[in-house]
Structure formats: C-alpha cells, structure tokens
Amino acid sequence: MFVQSARLLARESGDVAYEAESLYRLASLAHYDGQPGDALALAAEALEFADERGVVLVQAWSLHLMAVVHSDSGNHAEALALCLRALTLYRSTDHVLDEGNILNTLATIHHELGDVDRAILNYDAARKANARDGRSDFEAIALSNIGSLRVERGDLDEGIELGRRAVDVGRRHAPGFLPRLLTSFAESLARRADPERDDTEAAREALGEARRLLDDSAIAFDDALRAEVELATGRLETQSGRIDVAEEHLREALGLAQVIGARQIELTSIAALATLTKQVGRLAEAVAFLEARCDVAERLAKDGLDNRVRTMQIAHDAENSRQRTEIVRLRLAVAQARHEVE
C-alpha cells in the first residue's frame, strides 16, 4: 500500500526516477510474498518504464530481479542472460552498493548450471566488490557460498573454515542473514562428519541456533528459510540414524514448502523422505514419495515454462507498444508537415 502511494505521489510530481523505483519495489514485494509470476510481470513493467525514461539503475535492478525469478523456476539460461545484462547496466551507473549482490546471483546461476569454476570466480569477484563497497552483509553470503562450493569439491577443511568465517561476519554485520549462514555451515559440517571433531554435534548446535533465531528474533524471516533449516536438520538426523527425529523435521520442511509454493525445497524434502522410508523398509511409502517427487518435478517444469512464455509475451507487448508509439509519432510529423505546407 505504501509503495503504491509512493508511486502515485511520484507520478503526480513528475518524478520519473522515483516512479520507476516504486514499480521495482512492488516487484520485489511480490517476490518476497512468494508470487513469482506477479514479480516477473511487475519487474518487466518497471524495466520497460525505466528503459523509456533512461532510469538505468532501475533497469539493472529489474533485470536482476527477473534473473532471480527465472533461476528459482529452473530457467537458468534465461536467468544467466538477464543477470549479465543487469551487471553491465549496473556498472554503467555511479551506484556502488549492489554490484556484489548481482555477482553473487551470477555465481549462483553458474553453480546451478554445474559450472563450478565460473561460480567460484564470480563469488570471489563478489567478495572483492563487497569489500570495496563496505558491504559486509553481502561479504558474509559470498564467503558462505564459496565455502559450500569448496566442500562440494572435496576441500572439506577449507570450505568449513570459510563457512565459520561467514558466520562470524554475519554475527557482527548481517544478523538478518545469520540463520541461512548457520544452515549452510551446518550442512558443510555434516558432509565432513568427523567424529573426532564432533562435527555432527556442532552441526546440530548451528541448526538449533538458526531455529531459535527464527523463533525469537524481531527481524522478519520468511517461511522458505525456516523450511531450509528443517530440511537440513532432517538430513543431518537421517545421517545420524535418528530416524524418528529426522522424519519429523523433513515432514515439517515439506509442509512449509507446500504452503508457500517453494518447489525446489518441496522436491528436495520429498526425495529425502523417499530415501528415509526406503532405508527403514517402508517401501510402499517410499514409492509414494517417489511418485510425488515426479509430480512436483512436472509442476516445477510447468512453472519454468509459464515464466518463459510470460517473458516472451511481455516482450511482444512491449514491442507492439513501441511500434504503436512510433506510428503515432510519424502521423503527427506528417500532419505537422502538411500544416506547414498549407
């Protein structure tokens, strides 16, 4: 409501830059509220509005948000193209706070595409940009992501140390990111699972702290993050052999993901439950979870297709609008020329 009011005030006062930013903020709110289709449409509207009026910073922000939406729905090639455009436009402005965030998204997309080397290069670039711009909050995220990639590649000790540093930076500079940083750190510890270093217990403590932060903090955390914490806890307890506890957390993660429409978390939770029920010999349930996993994968693919179609439709409508504007301009020019002749 407040953003809509800001947009109306900006329009009344003729402040096109502020009106463009208000459109982008509406798109961001839609994304935060779990409405990716609305977020994509509003971001595209903000992009077109900003493009027509030369508000380059809002163009970059809008392209970045569109990249995030596409990445979330599995359209990684589209997300990569949009994110690269966002980075190029952002670097053409004099704004200096968000380059690290865009680079971080670019690295995440490369990671999801399986290009780990490019992912690490972009995470390192994000760290340098964050250090330059004084963005210690994004520095924590970049450290955490690099640590997770190192663990994934088998560099367990180095990756866990980076995750620990990310948590330390988060405690001092980014309390809003701390639950996610703790969750990522716990997953790295669980992957090493060295009994001599009490990795499993340390991971359990990190996840417990993340859960307490979600319960007690005055900072607003979203349900998707809570679902991630529950999922990580379920996988840790499955690995530890505490099957009943693991199943409770996995079902909690699945329920939250279904409520908020977080398809990727839903997919991973179902897969974990299928593995758990098969492990304990509940084969009929395992089969049912595998079937459910196929259904979710199909819906995820449909979501991605819908977003691609919507993007194409928005681009088509924008082109038609530009052509109509050009036709009107030409007709006015012809009319003016005739008037001058007469």
pLDDT of residue 72: 83
pLDDT of residue 199: 96
By the 8 A CB rule, do 265 and 257 touch? yes
Pick from 37-41, 125-129, 207-211: least confident: 37-41
Q: How many CA atoms lie within 13 A of 6 on its CB side?
A: 13
Q: How many CA atoms lie within 13 A of 180 on its CB side?
A: 18
Band of residue 268 on the pLDDT scale cut at 50, 70, 90: very high
Sign of CA dihedral 22, 26, 308, 311: negative
Pick from 7-16, 220-229, 269-278: least confident: 7-16
Alpha-carbon distance 177 to 194, whole Å? 27
Dump pLDDT digits (tens) for 65-115: 999 999 888 888 899 999 999 999 999 999 988 999 999 999 999 998 989
Q: What is the mean pLDDT of residues 300-328?
A: 65
Res. 158: pLDDT tops 60: yes
Alpha-carbon distance 127 to 53, whole Å? 32
pTM of the predicted structure, to 2 decimals: 0.76
pLDDT of residue 17: 84
pLDDT of residue 10: 56
Alpha-carbon distance 13 to 23, whole Å? 16
Pick from 5-14, 139-148, 181-190: least confident: 5-14
By the 8 A CB rule, do 106 and 122 touch? yes
Alpha-carbon distance 148 to 154, whole Å? 10
Mean pLDDT of the chain: 87
The per-residue b/e assignment along 46-71, b for 16 or more CB within 10 angstroms, e otherwise, is bbbbbbeeebbbbbbbbbbbbbbbbb
CATH number attached to the domain at 1-95 = 1.25.40.10
Res. 7: pLDDT tops 60: no
Give residue limits of the domains in the chain: 1-95
Dump pLDDT digits (tens) for 181-237: 999 999 999 999 999 999 999 999 999 999 999 988 765 567 889 999 999 999 999
